Amino acid sequence: MSQASLTIGVLALQGAFEAHAKALTALGATAKLVRTPAELKDLDGLIIPGGESTTFLKFLERGGFLDALQTFVATTPTFGTCAGAILLAKDVQNPTQPSLAALDITVERNAYGRQIDSAILTEQTKLEGGPLEMVFIRAPRITHAGPNVETLATRDGSPVLVREGHLLAATFHPELSNDPRVHQLFLDLVRRNLARQNPVNQNLARQDHGR
């Protein structure tokens, strides 16, 4: 299965959704902007971008969108960045708020201060290809990760890129960097998920194992 055959939705209610779509397109995937629950249909995966998580919730509480999204992320690969990571988290603090409760992490909102305290860091990660540029803007902090959550990158000892099953989350903004590796990581995750669903593509899953 080629990446060109993957259709990845980008939740386009706020945030840098166009930048995510551009990154996906550059990697050969088809990006689809999602603004209604009906547009979740037939997606191979979904990106929930950054923004303001409470504003996201206000949009999602209309027309059953939140319930539809919760059902979607339970089984379909989903990647949350910054506010998207907050929405995926099982536990949200500072202050507490509802979420999709899908990813076994605890997240502290605005943990690094105001937008003026944002930073661009280059750190070693578990991804191949050397240090990774990470753009943090009013970033949350992951204060706890469950036993089945894999930490792929850290900042000052706290996870900033994590994976659990078909879910991926970053507290930074990979769409604002020229490095495509985090989006590629998500596309690889999507392809492995599809391969598991289709025995014909089991060889693809074996080829991608360990990425």
What the block records as the tokens of 23 is 């990154």
In the residue annotation, 183 being an active-site residue is answered as no
Hey, what are 116's tokens? 């003026």
52 annotated active-site: no
For 61, residues 6+ apart whose C-beta sits below 8 A from its C-beta are: none
Q: Is 82 a catalytic residue?
A: yes
**Residues 121-128: contacts with CB under 8 Å, at least 24 apart:** 121/155, 123/153, 123/154, 123/155, 125/152, 125/153, 125/161, 126/151, 126/152, 126/153, 127/152, 127/153, 127/181, 127/182, 127/185, 128/181, 128/211
Terminal CA-CA length for the chain:
17
Indicate the helix (H) or strand (E) that contains 183: helix 181-197
User: Which among 193, 184, 192, 194 is positioned nearest to 161, based on CA atoms?
Assistant: 184
Q: Which of 20, 166, 173, 183 is catalytic?
A: 173
Of the candidates 82, 108, 164, 183, the residue annotated as catalytic is 82
Question: What is the Rg, in whole angstroms, of the alpha carbon atoms belonging to the chain?
Answer: 16
Catalytic residue of the set 108, 166, 175, 183: 175
- What single-letter DSSP state applies at residue 37? G
80 within 8 A of 105, measured Cβ to Cβ: no
Q: Which residues are catalytic?
A: 82, 173, 175
